[in-house]
Chain A
Amino acid sequence: MTDEEILEVENLVVRFYTYEGIVEALDGVNLKIRKGEILGLVGETGCGKSVTSLSTLVLVPPPGSIEAGKIFLKTQGKKVNLLEQDRETLRTVRGSEISMVFQEPRAYLNPVYSVENQISEVLLVHRKEEFLKRAIETIKKKKKGSNFELKLYQRMLEKPKSLTTKLLSKFTSKRTLKMELHNEVVALLKNMEIPDPERVAKMYPHELSGGMAQRVVIAMALSCNPKILLADEPTTNLDVTVQAQILQLVSLLRKNFQSSILYVTHDLGVVAEICDRVAVMYAGNVVETADVFEIFNNPLHPYTKALLESIPRPGKEFKSIPGVVPSLIKPPRGCRFHDRCDFAMEVCRKVKPQFLEVKKDHFVACHLYGGSK
């Protein structure tokens, strides 16, 4: 792992144990995310993009399970394998070092709680001490809030785990703390260019439009300044105009906060617009990874080539990839693309190609480029 890289997924294998059989969803996925870059993860529906991003948070839902591989995160200068960590550690990572934004924002917000409630939740989990201190400062400086609150917050800082602290904090109003949180929430919403953030904070998810909800979710994801933002098709369900706004927002984020973004999508247009590097997935494998210009001008893997050729252009004949995506319950042996590949060789049917650096910074998994080393 180089100095620039902050997340590395190594040979990740994920299986789903369903009634119809074992789905080999991810078959040794390799991915590297660098600091401050937007990495696009492209592929058709069902190729494993979402599973990959969920796996980085170790959140694969049952009946799925992560069977093999490593997920390295560079945190506090150290390289840590997330798959070996206990739940406590994982919880400190989720939402604060790695955050996720999902496809249907209103489904990912709890319908019975207000926007403010749900964003404050995240703030309290990861930045609790900071807000306690802020509240204490406010009480001291502005003379707002009671002495009792002051003592309570100090106690919450010093002895957070004691039973008395827990009881006291549960049954008191903590007005100042709530105010601090509220202010932060409004500030976050404003950063997302949400109009009238005071009002939106009090709203419930069903009252928000799609675009608004997505901004709220992004605001929530960024609230603890994560190193990596996982964006799982965040604009797929939105209007094109709203999509453009969100994309603008996303690139601004990278500029202002130096966060890395894993942008999962099936839309090559979006990829071309904002991504720095692109990883192409097919049937549970990453088949090619390269700089965005490289991918578009110089695609190496047959699938990538076919994908780019299938983009409809006026005047050009409509070309699609023959065949269907294979079922992952009994996936084909060897390279999973071989039965639809124009360049398939004998070895492709038998041996799975390795993921190798074929040119500078250009990785491919294909026998055409010596994948059988």
Chain B
Amino acid sequence: MSMEPRVKEWKFMLKRVRETPLALAGVAIIIFFILIALLAPVLAPPTYSDPFKIPQDKEIYSLTPNPTPPTLTHIFGTSDQQYDIYYACIWGTITAFRVGLTVVLISLIIGLILGVAAAYYGGILDEILMRFTDIIIAFPGLILAMALVLAFPAAIPINLSSIFLVVSIICSFVIIMARSDRKLLLVTQMIVVAFLVSYIYQPIVLHLEITNLDKVLFAIAIVGWPGYARLIRGEILRVKNEDYIEAAKAAGSSDFRIITRHILPNTIYPLLVVVSMDVGSIVLTAAALSFLGIGAPIDYADWGQMISRSRAWIRNPEMLASNFHTFFIPGLFITLFSLGWNLLGDALRDVLDPMLRRR
């Protein structure tokens, strides 16, 4: 009934993606990086117990701390203080995926929840959200991210019971606003469970250590969620007034059902495009922050971090020329990674267009 056209749309979309050379190039690049990430332990066996710690060549270091050009032992050469660039680039791939996907996930979840709530329930909730996102967007993003990174504490004490309480309060709120007959029962069940659980787990307090890189992730996610919230809200508002929603309401579907079965599947496509391109641009932003020195520490395998040493040579033409490989190669990785995702996103957007117009 309603499944058939949707399956057809997916198949159509995939077929079109397969036909576009740019999309295929993008997918190929992404697969290339996935392979590197998966094969990292084979391609560049770790020296330390933490595989993300870059090995230093102590022999050459005793001779000179300056970067050395590519040789057989160090395929991409070494950077300042003799860190192996090849190793950093290989394991940096995993870091890149981690950064991109985590940030997108966090931003998406926050943005989705708030965007859906604002769009579906409208009224004051919508107004407040819109003004709030307006204000965040008015902030200079990069600076805000930097400030957040620096202001974050190094370790957060997390009280499990308080988390449970907060989560259950949010769920209760959602249930209350939903048009469901069983809500009173559900809410009561929820609150009872919450209290029981929090009583049991009261003494357990975790200390979550947060690395600099994690702070970067959170910071970018916090700066990024308004974009998703507004996009989802816009799409939902577009769909909300369509006739099939009226029909579903008239047939008596609950709000939850309407949202999941009707609204979300129809609003998801532009989101796919944005997500795909965001993975690329988030990695760029994270690299920029690392480049400025705020991201990963010096011996951590991260592409942006590798390039940050170059800041010292800006006024020094000889160093710039001779150490070309130290920033060229990691930067190439960043560019290609970002390119792959952008190609995919762009191709998806092109495919979406005729699909949207066919509706």
Contact = CB atoms under 8 A, between A and B. Distances in A.
A362 to B, nearest CB: 40
Contacts of A19: 12, 16, 354
Interface in B336-359: 354
A19 B354 CA distance: 9
Nearest to B19: A19
A285 to B, nearest CB: 26
A21 to B, nearest CB: 13
Contacts of B12: 19
Interface string B285-326: 000000000000000000000000000000000000000000
Nearest 3 pairs of A and B residues by beta carbon: A19-B354, A19-B12, A19-B16
Contacts of B354: 19
A177 to B, nearest CB: 41
A229 B230 CA distance: 47
A19 B357 CA distance: 12
A19 B9 CA distance: 12
Interface residues of A, number: 1
Interface residues of B, number: 3
Interface string B7-33: 000001000100000000000000000
A19 B355 CA distance: 10
A19 B16 CA distance: 9
B150 to A, nearest CB: 48
A19 B11 CA distance: 13
Interface of B: 12, 16, 354
3 contacts: A19-B12, A19-B16, A19-B354
A17 to B, nearest CB: 13
A19 B12 CA distance: 9
Contacts of B16: 19
Nearest to A19: B354
Interface in A1-48: 19
B298 to A, nearest CB: 53
A245 to B, nearest CB: 31
A273 to B, nearest CB: 33
Interface string A352-368: 00000000000000000
B36 to A, nearest CB: 35
B45 to A, nearest CB: 49
Interface in A297-356: none
Nearest to B358: A19
A284 to B, nearest CB: 21
A335 B335 CA distance: 60
Nearest to B355: A19
B13 to A, nearest CB: 11
B236 to A, nearest CB: 26
A11 to B, nearest CB: 30
B19 to A, nearest CB: 10
B355 to A, nearest CB: 9
Interface string A258-286: 00000000000000000000000000000
A19 to B, nearest CB: 7
A226 B84 CA distance: 79
Nearest to B354: A19
A62 to B, nearest CB: 12
A19 B20 CA distance: 14
B347 to A, nearest CB: 15
B12 to A, nearest CB: 7
A19 B17 CA distance: 13
A34 B354 CA distance: 40
A314 B354 CA distance: 45
B98 to A, nearest CB: 38
Interface in A164-212: none
A79 to B, nearest CB: 39
B313 to A, nearest CB: 53
A26 to B, nearest CB: 21
A19 B350 CA distance: 14
A88 B16 CA distance: 37
A260 B24 CA distance: 54
A301 to B, nearest CB: 33
B320 to A, nearest CB: 50
A19 B353 CA distance: 13
A19 B19 CA distance: 12
A72 B16 CA distance: 40
Nearest to B16: A19
B349 to A, nearest CB: 16
A70 to B, nearest CB: 32
Nearest to B12: A19
B353 to A, nearest CB: 12
A292 B16 CA distance: 49
A249 B239 CA distance: 40
